Amino acid sequence: MLKPQGRRGEVTAELHTDFPERFAVRKRLFLLGRDGKRQEAELESHWLHKGRVILKFSGVDSMNAAEALVGSEVQLPREARASLEGGAAYVSDLVGCEVFEVSGEPRALGRIENVLFGAGEAPLLELKNDREELLIPFAEAYLRGFERERKRLEVALPEGLLELSGRKQKTSLRSKARRR
């Protein structure tokens, strides 16, 4: 959640769902706090606003109470999730997966540490291994296999994409280091 909204305990949150209409029927949610603790929360109301969602939870009735929720992540129990089609996956299913390049000689690329949104048409998978960090697009055209239970994702990437990703990441890290 990003920030308090108004004076009655509402919070503004980014939408990372293809099913925002389900807030109307899903009242039992969980909030994963910045401290890593999970708490159950009852959703009183919601509305969409400027590409985001405003959430009002029971018992959160002031700006100060809403401020305590900033940085929390809204989660659903696995059994309450909507079924996904095609190459779609939930972020929580992707994080921690080992990614393997399977075109040509198969090789391990790294473990998914994060999924980044807003950088383009497809989300970017942030991978880390012993040597480097990589950013690769999570695009259906590159997917060859996904085994959620085994935490394994297989991709066939275009030639040169990994080299570009590694070079861009190193430049980005150098730029961050200069700003400090």
Q: Say which CATH class 3-78 falls into.
A: mainly beta
Looking at the chain, the domain(s) classified CATH 2.30.30.240 span 91-179
Phi, psi of 162 (to 5 degrees): -65, -40
Compute the average pLDDT of residues 20-35: 88
Res 168: pLDDT = 44
Question: E strands along the chain, which residues?
Answer: 3-5, 10-14, 28-32, 38-49, 52-57, 73-75, 98-101, 107-116, 124-128, 133-137, 143-147, 152-155
Res 79: pLDDT = 81
pLDDT confidence band for 166 (50 / 70 / 90): low
Query: Do 150 and 157 form a contact (C-beta atoms < 8 A)?
Result: no
The reported pTM is: 0.66
Structure tokens given for 25: 């029927």
DSSP 8-state symbol, 157: P
Residue 28 clears pLDDT 70, i.e. is over it:
yes
Neighbouring residues of 132: CB distance < 8 A, sequence distance ≥ 6: 110, 166, 169, 170
pLDDT 10s digits, 125-151: 999 999 889 999 999 899 999 998 899
91-179 is classed CATH 2.30.30.240: yes
Residue 8 clears pLDDT 70, i.e. is over it:
yes
Looking at the chain, the domain(s) classified CATH 2.40.30.60 span 3-78
